Structure 1
Amino acid sequence: MAKNVHADQRFIIGLINNDTIVVNDIYKRCAHKIKSWITFNNGTEDDAADIFQEALMDIYRQGKYKSLELTCPFEPYLLLICKRKWLNQIKKRSILPVTNLEEDLLHIGEDTFAQADELENQSRQSDLFYGAFEKLGARCQEIIAWSMKGEAQEKVAEALGVTYGYLRKKKSECMASLIKMVQSIKMEE
């Protein structure tokens, strides 16, 4: 059965040919999503930049030397590779066995495409959340950002210079506003 090459194969060709326009487009479309995902999963911005570069190099090598042909959209494929690379990095830091990503890329099955679709959906959800989050007031953004770090609320209240009771009430109001914004954005789509 012949594979249907996806239109996003142009990104692979652009990487192989070092096409500046295509490479810039990849960065514009994907870099912030990968940075958000990695920093949300205990990484730093530097980690995200390294993982992004490594993933692009892997895709470049797969395209140039192993004739990689995309049968799914490029963006979720790249996000999936970055996600796997970051999880492998976490395993290395924990001194756990690490899978060999180069070999994994040669055996892409249907489950990989399902994961890529799921990752693309997560990415859309993340974009929706951040879009609504950016519309919140500065104080709400600050409270939610602190709360997402997993700190004890007493510590957060102290750091923000407010009482514990005020923080709980304000956080509840901010989260309600955020949820309302996310729902209204979803309804507009």
Structure 2
Amino acid sequence: MTQKEHDDYLLQSLISGNDAGILEIYKVIYPKVKRYVIRHDGTEDDAKDVLQKALLQLATRAQTKTFEINSSFEGYLFTTCKNVWRREVKISKNRVTNDTVIDLVHEEREIALAAFEQDQWELFQEKLQELSENCRKILEFFFNKIPYVQIAKTLGYATENTVRQRIFKCKGKLKESIQADARYNELKEL
């Protein structure tokens, strides 16, 4: 079975509720999600919740619209899990906890917001891939908070100032490309 066929099998298993395929998804993805969540101040229970939400979101999206994964299924689902966890952390920072207070966040709203954020992420990733290889590399370093000195050394730039200028130009190209896309206005209005 090719990687594409295997990815299609996993996605269809999720949509149709095929236990064998879903079990395979858990075996492959859960350890990575657990490791990521725990490294980012979460617990094993948080990791389980994140994977459940990501799977629900993915299944919902695949059933409601034309849906295609351009990377591997595993990579896509893991990125979705990371986005779900980041959102959870962001929400929990703004939430006041009290044992007698009931959380009023509705699950449907959460799924819709997560799907919206995933659409934004996909647009960003698509436009990032359209940039030159040099711009993609320098922005990857920048987004991973690599020091300018190290970027200059690695990519062979003369000075940190040159790196700053390249980052500024590449970010500008990325922003321009995203804003020129029709989906940008749809996602911005929501």
Shorter-normalised TM range: 0.5 to 0.7
Instruction: Give the 3 Å change call, closer, same or farther, for CA 21–51 of structure 1 in structure 2.
Output: same
How far apart are the structure 2 equivalents of 1:62 and 1:20? 19
How far is the alpha carbon of 1:104 from its aligned partner? 2.4
Q: Report matched runs for 1:15-164 at 5 Å.
A: 15-95=14-94, 100-107=113-120, 108-109=122-123, 111=125
Per-residue CA deviations over 1:125-155 (Å, capped at 9, x if unaligned) read: xxxxxxxxxxxxxxxxxxxxxxxxxxxxxxx
Per-residue CA deviations over 1:7-29 (Å, capped at 9, x if unaligned) read: 41222111111111110110111
On the 8 A contact 2:57/2:114 being kept in 1, the answer is no
How far is the alpha carbon of 1:100 from its aligned partner? 2.9
Identity over aligned residues, as a percent? Answer: 27
Q: Residue 109 of structure 1 aligns to a residue in which SS?
A: helix
Gaps of 5+ in 2: 96-109, 130-139, 141-190
How far is the alpha carbon of 1:62 from its aligned partner? 0.7
How far is the alpha carbon of 1:106 from its aligned partner? 3.1
One-letter amino acid matched to 2:123 = G
On the 8 A contact 2:83/2:118 being kept in 1, the answer is no
TM-score, scaled relative to structure 2: 0.52
Q: Residue 94 of structure 2 aligns to a residue in which SS?
A: coil
Large movers: runs of 4+ above 3 Å: none
On the 8 A contact 1:38/1:86 being kept in 2, the answer is yes
One-letter amino acid matched to 1:37 = Y
Q: Which has the higher contact order (CA 8 A, sep 6+)?
A: 1
Number of residue pairs matched by the alignment:
110
One-letter amino acid matched to 1:87 = R
How far is the alpha carbon of 1:33 from its aligned partner? 0.7
Aligned-CA RMSD value: 2.7
Gaps of 5+ in 1: 1-5, 119-189
On the 8 A contact 1:34/1:82 being kept in 2, the answer is yes
On the 8 A contact 1:9/1:69 being kept in 2, the answer is no
How far is the alpha carbon of 1:64 from its aligned partner? 1.0
How far is the alpha carbon of 1:109 from its aligned partner? 2.7
TM-score, scaled relative to structure 1: 0.52
